[in-house]
Structure 1
């Protein structure tokens, strides 16, 4: 009797924080490159996102504690590949471009790579969110010396190193805390351009002024206390 071969282990795990993203999930998951395993972290969706992700072949983690950082960290803990990427799950970022951020980490040329968003259309990045990102990036450069222009929600680093940072924020400050702690640990941090597309569905953060203000507040708190 023939035994089915064991599928090769993923070179890269991709953490996809998810809150009501059923409309975007099919496109996001079909764009996943070979060797990249999607880990969809459901953060309390009411639209069947978790079941849809499972049906589409993704590994699904349930994180009942609400918060972007809570979802990201749950995915990091669930990852098993040596390199972990983070990517928004709303189709604003193309998973097909994940190798741009992961390859320098896989080859040992960088410790943390962030995708610098380049808006594909004016609708992709509302002015209030673009301005807030610019202000935070300026503060981040002043704090860390890292030559960064974007907080880069698409990013990659080695899993063991990320766990060693001791990331504590569980809200919108999680991505910023990662960069601050990485810079403090003398990581080699790089940026690379990625396309930024109009998201599918309703935005919880950058699509609303209120959401952007909340994110800026969370990130400012990180800069003040880390």
Structure 2
């Protein structure tokens, strides 16, 4: 069975060859260029990826454009920075294919520990706790590596187009009754500097987006028609 792999991309030309070259057989790369200035799109094409251009900046905008462009029944989401091994994707896809789970997340296990900065780990731990309190689902990580059926992802009607997108996906998936599972995956130093967790400012911006999503979830448990798009 084929799987489409959505890779949101902003200036990841240095990392893309290694990431794309490590994709397992049957996994097709969809690189969503989100305004790169380093030739990322050309590098992606040269390595066999389908390239989608998303002019609207934001992690959520890029991922959602990739999910919409996907054609396979099963869709994986993966950072394009080389921090996660594409070779782990079949292990995450297996529970979905077996009908045992609907959304599988890779729980990051930093190798070495310095691969995941302390401020980012602390923020992630706090958000994971907020997810458990809001949904009852026991998660430890927001998990940038994910696998689900494309139809399920589109049915979640995700509105956020910034850093709140991964959190909104989990909250809506829980509300929709999807079975969510975590599996450990190694997390290594990324190639280049992160636009989000590599800086305290980026982390604080992401936290702000996610706090907004949590607030909206609490205030509108069944009606999200007024959810913002940015």
Q: Give the shorter-chain TM-score range.
A: over 0.9
- Map of 1:11 onto structure 2: 2
- Map of 2:102 onto structure 1: 111
The whole-number CA distance in structure 1 between the counterparts of 2:24 and 2:114 is 26
- Quick check: 1:27 aligned with 2:18? yes
> Which of 52, 61, 75 is matched with 1:84 structurally?
75
- Map of 1:71 onto structure 2: 62
- Map of 1:53 onto structure 2: 44
- Map of 2:135 onto structure 1: 144
Where do residues 145-184 of structure 1 align in structure 2 (5 Å cutoff)?
145-184=136-175
The whole-number CA distance in structure 2 between the counterparts of 1:114 and 1:153 is 7
1:143-163 Cα offsets, whole Å, 9 max, x none, are 011110000000111000110
How far apart are 1:11 and its partner, in Å?
1.5
The whole-number CA distance in structure 1 between the counterparts of 2:3 and 2:138 is 25
- Map of 1:194 onto structure 2: 185
The whole-number CA distance in structure 2 between the counterparts of 1:81 and 1:172 is 25
- Map of 2:34 onto structure 1: 43
- Map of 1:98 onto structure 2: 89
1:66-121 Cα offsets, whole Å, 9 max, x none, are 00000000000000100101000000111111112111111211000000000011
Where do residues 122-137 of structure 1 align in structure 2 (5 Å cutoff)?
122-137=113-128
- Quick check: 1:218 aligned with 2:209? yes
How far apart are 1:125 and its partner, in Å?
0.2
TM-score normalised according to structure 2 size? 0.93
The whole-number CA distance in structure 2 between the counterparts of 1:201 and 1:73 is 24
> Which of 87, 112, 120 is matched with 1:121 structurally?
112
The whole-number CA distance in structure 2 between the counterparts of 1:76 and 1:119 is 27
How far apart are 1:123 and its partner, in Å?
2.3
4+ residue runs of structure 1 moved beyond 3 angstroms?
Answer: none
TM-score normalised according to structure 1 size? 0.95
- Map of 1:7 onto structure 2: none
